[in-house]
Amino acid sequence: MGLQKPAQSIDSNKKKMNWSVLLGAAFLMATSSIGPGFLTQTTVFTQSLTTSFGFIILISIILDIVAQLNVWRIIAVTEKRGQDIANMVLPGLGFLLSLLIVIGGLAFNIGNIAGAGLGFNVLFGIDPKWGAAISAIIAIIIFSVKEAGKAMDRFAQIAGVVMILLMIYIAISTNPPAGTAFVKTFTPDKIDIFAIITLVGGSVGGYITFAGGHRLLEAGIKGKKALPQVTRSSVTGILITGVMRVALFLAVLGVVSQGLKINADNPAASVFQLAAGNLGYKIFGLVMWAAALTSVIGAAYTSVSFIRTFHESINQHYRKIIIGFIIVSTLSFIVIGQPVQVLVIVGAINAFILPIALGTLLIAANKKRIVGDYKHPLWMTILGVIVAVAMAAMSIYTVYNIFLK
């Protein structure tokens, strides 16, 4: 008669597995948002707002948590992906949302793969196009293994931890005025609404906020009983992004406070180099590569997750479609380069995804035929509506500036 494992041991293993998935989903979301644009935006805003940028980061983290809590909890309760919930609210809306996300994900992945190529160029001096091709191969290998979900989780975790540790080292190297920055986080000299909206859009806009929510659903962490776990993973993802943002903010602040001149052509790289010389420049290459490649993986995975439920054959071959998504992005960069005008237009369209998606899910959260007897917290609904309206207003303003002004 075979020996049976004690129930306590099985429960312990299950908890460890769940925690690994929860952490993986948090890092997938966080590293998806920490891309080449994240590094540049944070550097530029810190230069213009100096210590007051701490306040902008604080407010954006609060708004990010509100948006992501709403999205992840509603996905968990309905046990459906974002596009299916949207179709239940209004037939056809899910197809529109999926179209926007796939187009946005593909366009931005060209920028992400370019960032990975640049990282390789800084590290090894090879042509960025070769660096992009090698990075794409690494991403393809991750989605080719049998347990691609676990491989993706682990890669995101390792890359995320490495980026944060290196960023903290650079921040310490610049000896920033941390005390003043802390004070100005709560009593800023100036407030930039555009900066807040840009940070929120960069952290949870477009496909990003769905990355972890869809990953948890795929791993079987769903239903009302899973809400505490989903909430914890959701907030953890935003806090990981926040730690990286604060570390980069302090690094730039240290450079600016010393009166050193940041190169406007490549501001993020300039900060690393001014902070730690040639070593700092190489660290920038590694951080850029890790940030870009994790964003490539996150964008490909999440974009394809938005079409998986439309046909059974797509669901069966989704990993091959993800690989195809990465190949198309890479070839586009190698053959065409970065289509700047396309990226600008897609960026404007992408800005509408968060208000549309969040607004739709908030409507779903209050429809019994979709969520059953689940009662969505009123404060989450109210704050979620405020975030959705604010993002919609800023999106309209952005489009006006790009196309009409």
Residue keyed to tokens 């974002």: 82
Mean pLDDT is lowest, of 4-13, 112-121, 302-311, for 4-13
Cα–Cα distance, 396 to 355 (Å, whole number) = 11
Give the rounded percent of residues in the chain with a pLDDT score beyond 70.
91
Q: Return the sign of the alpha-carbon dihedral for residues 23, 24, 29, 32.
A: positive
Percent above pLDDT 90 for the chain: 68
Mean pLDDT of the region 82-86: 95
Residue of 396 and 98 predicted with greater confidence: 98
How confident is the model over 157-178, as a mean pLDDT? 94
Binned at pLDDT 50, 70 and 90, residue 15 comes out as low
208 has pLDDT over 80: yes
Residue 10 has pLDDT above 50, yes or no: no
Whether the per-residue pLDDT at 282 is higher than 80: the answer is: yes
Supply the pLDDT for residue 35.
86
> Within its chain, how far is the Cα of 197 from the centroid?
15
**Cβ contact 399:362 at 8 Å:** no
Q: Helix or strand or coil: residue 377?
A: coil
Whether the model clears a pTM of 0.85, i.e. scores above it, the answer is yes
Q: At 352, is the secondary structure helix, strand, or coil?
A: coil
pLDDT average, residue stretch 189-209: 85
Distance (Å, rounded) from C-alpha 132 to C-alpha 113? 6
pLDDT tens-digit profile of 343-365?
566 666 666 788 999 999 999 99
* pLDDT tens track for 24-83: 999 999 998 888 888 888 999 999 999 999 999 999 999 999 999 999 999 999 999 999
Residue count of the chain, please give it: 405
Dihedral (Cα; 118, 123, 127, 131), 10-degree rounding = -70
Contact 205, 199 (CB under 8 A): no
Whether residue 297 has pLDDT greater than 50: yes
Task: Enter the tokens of residue 138.
Answer: 């690494």
Of the pLDDT bands very low, low, confident and very high (cuts 50, 70, 90), residue 339 is low
Alpha-carbon span 150 to 20, nearest angstrom: 9
CB 42 within 8 A of CB 267: no
* Three-state secondary structure call for residue 250: helix
* Beta carbons of 298 and 31 less than 8 angstroms apart: yes
Read off the pLDDT of residues 234-278 as tens digits, 9 standing for 90 and up. 999 999 999 999 999 999 999 999 988 998 888 899 999 999 999
Q: Is 24 exposed, middle or buried (0-12, 13-18, 19+ CB in 10 A)?
A: buried
Do residues 168 and 145 touch, judged by C-beta distance below 8 A?
Answer: no
Mean pLDDT over each residue of the chain, to the nearest integer: 89
